[in-house]
Amino acid sequence: MRFWLAGLLLSALPLAVHAQRKNTPSDTIFYDATAERLPSRAGAVRFIITSAQPTGGGVVQKIYAANGTLLEQIPYVDAQAKKREGVALKVFSSGAIRSRRTYRNGQLDGQLQLFYLNGNLQELSIYQQGQEKSKQCFDLDGQPMTCPVDKGVVPQGTVYAAYKAGRPALTAEISRKTRYPSLPNGAVPQRGQVVVACMIGVDGQLRESRIYKSVGPEYDREALRVVNELHGTFSPQLLNGEPTESFFTLEVNFLPPVQPKL
């Protein structure tokens, strides 16, 4: 099954890069919610520790959440010039690896890997001197799938599938139908977004749906329920005026329920 998907956006934390201090093995910087620098850890939501690489020179920056959870690790051969060298990591709050990127001379060079929360590989790209040479994509279960389409580059003669009532109406319909899922005892409610990839048939009907970006089993099941119950029809993708099957991504957002005040 081939999937045409919307591009995946990865959000980056604001980085403050500081040159390595020759007389200090590490440097810690604290930031509040507005990315303003703080004099101490009190009130900080993020902090960055910059330290010397154990071998080969350069420095490594580690970005942490307020509770000490590692969020990102970035190696620099020249921190002042923000020139990356080595393997950079991004981490889910659970501690699982979110992405792994290899840099040489400040450019992507080697493998770029993106992972699902369950640890399965989502994307594998090979770079040479900053240029992407190949790319493979996989669904949540590890099965190969067609990689996301860059919507900014529309092939000649192509009109993408769309919800007939418009995207705002689609978003409102999904929001109206979504219910926060029941969680196992002890599970902490969380805010998140499940992305579902759906087939749009030549008749504009929404058909097969599969999870592309997961938050967790309970959230995924609710997202699939919501998507599979959508009543509005889509206009199919057109290729040189002819309807064709295609895949469309839908986002289902979850907000923890507001607890009543005692």
Mind listing the pLDDT tens digit for each residue in 134-185?
888 887 788 887 675 554 445 556 778 888 888 899 999 999 999 999 888 8
Q: Find the mean pLDDT for residues 199-222.
A: 85
What confidence category does residue 103 fall into, taking pLDDT thresholds of 50, 70 and 90? very high
Whether pLDDT at 253 is above 90: yes
Q: Look at residues 102, 98, 122 and name the one whose alpha carbon lies nearest to residue 112.
A: 102
Q: Is the pLDDT of residue 187 over 80?
A: no
Calpha distance 20→27 (Å, rounded): 8
What is each CA distance from 116 to 7, 65, 79, 134, 138, in whole angstroms? 15, 20, 30, 20, 10
Residue 129 forms part of a structural domain:
yes
- Domain final residue pick, 110, 139, 168: 139
Query: Does 205 share its domain with 245?
Result: yes
* Pair 162, 219 in one domain: yes
Q: What is the pLDDT of residue 25?
A: 44
Same domain assignment for residues 186 and 242 = yes
Residues 32 and 133 in one domain: yes
Strand-by-strand arrangement of the 246-254 sheet: 206-213, 192-200, 246-254
Over residues 19-48, the mean pLDDT reads 72
Q: Is the pLDDT at 54 greater than 70, yes or no?
A: yes
Helix (H) or strand (E) holding 108: strand 107-115
Does residue 252 register a pLDDT over 90? yes
The mean pLDDT value for 202-226 works out to 87
Residues above pLDDT 90, as percent of the chain: 17
Answer whether residue 259 is part of any domain. no
> Containing domain of residue 211, as a range?
158-254
Say whether 227 sits in a helix, a strand or coil: helix
pTM: 0.53
Look over the chain and give the mean of its residue pLDDT values, rounded to a whole number.
79
Residue 118 tokens read as 């369950």
Q: What is the Cα Rg of the chain in Å?
A: 22
- In total, the chain counts a number of residues equal to 262
pLDDT in tens, 160-173: 888 888 889 999 99
48 and 128 belong to one structural domain: yes
Amino acid at 25: P
Top mean pLDDT of 27-36, 235-244, 245-254 is at 245-254
262 in a domain, yes or no?
no
Token pair 């989502």 is at which residue? 122
Query: For position 105, what pLDDT does the model report?
Result: 87
Say if CB 19 and CB 80 are below 8 A apart: yes
In a domain, 233, yes or no: yes
Q: Is residue 18 part of a domain?
A: no
- Section 85-103 average pLDDT: 88
| Residue-level pLDDT at 220 | 92
Residue 127 has pLDDT above 90, yes or no: yes
Q: Which of 105, 139, 173 is the last residue of a domain?
A: 139
Instruction: Please compute, for residue 164, the number of CA atoms within 13 A of its CA located in the half-sphere on the CB side.
Output: 12
Contact assessment for residue 232 and residue 170, using Cβ atoms and an 8 Å cutoff: yes
